[in-house]
Amino acid sequence: MHKLLPIALVLIAACALPVSAKALKGIKTKTSANATPSGPLYASREDVMAIAEDIAERRGLDPAWVHRMLAQARFIPSVPRLMAPAPTGTVKNWKLYRSRFIDPVRIAAGVRFWQANRATLDRAEKEFGVPAEIIVGILGVETIYGQNMGNFRVLDALATLAFDFPASHPRAQERSAYFKGELEQYLSLTQRADIDPLSLRGSYAGAMGLGQFMPTSWVNFAVDFDGDSRVDLFNSPADAIGSVANYFKAFHWQSGMPVFYPVQFDPKTVDMDALLAPDILPTFSVARFQALGAVLDGPALQHTGPLALVELQNGGDAPQYVAGTENFYAITRYNWSSYYAMAVFELGQEVAAAVKAKTGP
């Protein structure tokens, strides 16, 4: 995956759906010959083997199969380091973050992807109400349209984060529980689909395919958008496009609503602490937003939903601010970061502009 921040933190592990499991049959991942180095097998961990019994009972799986799979999972030493929080005092920098995702190479790849899948993007926009540029932005930020889907064995990554999540993380217990749920979901999904859990590769967090879906997201939101009776997020751009659009629909994307509005401040009345207190959660009516010193104009004054003041820090330079709508918040349900959401939006806009310049509307 891209340099991952926790994906879909709001998701709770759910029971595998048979239709989704069946749809996995025949999937093959694109992997490099240079697999990610792994450490010791979890077969020697008594606590892990004991958990195998619980997983099998809760999920209705063959206990011997679950034991065998977890015994073959390996600890990946690099994964806890990648998941550890940034050192205290690390300054966020939107301009630097932006430069990692909005560049000529990624934009050119986005143009090729859009041109190759224009009809599918149009259909997804009509069926789900999610603009093509948002879908293209997600797939570009996540994997450069399938060029970098990760080379970690999914089973290893999920086991490592379930059983050896870095204790230094401020939410280590909660995150470990989350990944235990995703590991269960992955085992359930692959077993019911008759897929070898050791065969699939993804990000260091266990996310899979062009859109980097976690196992629970795959079960809950992935769709067969190319009509071949299976869901393949690794090799089918159509399924990836439809699944991303379905994800946003599930998280209340509102067709026609802007992602954000420009905002300025009245230095005489601004209450920055109050405006930033809800973080990225849209909370304020337009009237309340302005009463706290945020200045809006144009279409923003007609906005009827709640707004959030989104701050994008720029290292030692002055931060940037926007008035985020419920659609901005919807993007952060894919990855809980305002920087991520803005990168998705701006990449999608850049690609859309390049497509229009190259081929016309």
What are the catalytic residues? 142
The two three-digit tokens of residue 247, written as one number: 């994800």
The two three-digit tokens of residue 217, written as one number: 């997201």
Question: What single letter denotes the amino acid at residue 300?
Answer: A
Are 310 and 262 in contact by the 8 Å Cβ rule? The answer is no
121: left (phi over 0), alpha (psi -120 to 50) or beta: alpha
Q: Dihedral, CA atoms, 143, 121, 257, 262, nearest 10 degrees?
A: 50
- How many CA atoms within 13 Å lie on the side-chain side of 243? 32
If DSSP codes are grouped into helix, strand and coil, which group holds residue 116? helix
* C-alpha distance from residue 242 to each of 113, 123, 162, 193 (Å): 14, 9, 29, 21
* C-alpha distance from residue 184 to each of 15, 123, 200, 268, 331 (Å): 9, 34, 15, 54, 26
Q: Dihedral, CA atoms, 229, 230, 231, 234, nearest 10 degrees?
A: -130
Are 27 and 234 in contact by the 8 Å Cβ rule? The answer is yes
Query: How many angstroms from the chain centroid is the CA of residue 153?
Result: 18
Beta-carbon neighbour count of residue 169 at 10 Å? 15
- Cα angle, residue 165 at apex, residues 161 and 169 outer, rounded to 5°: 135
Q: What residues contact residue 44 under an 8 Å CB cut-off, 6+ apart? A: none
* Strand order across the 308-314 sheet: 260-262, 317-324, 308-314
Helix axes 154-163, 46-59, angle to 10 degrees: 110
If DSSP codes are grouped into helix, strand and coil, which group holds residue 307? strand
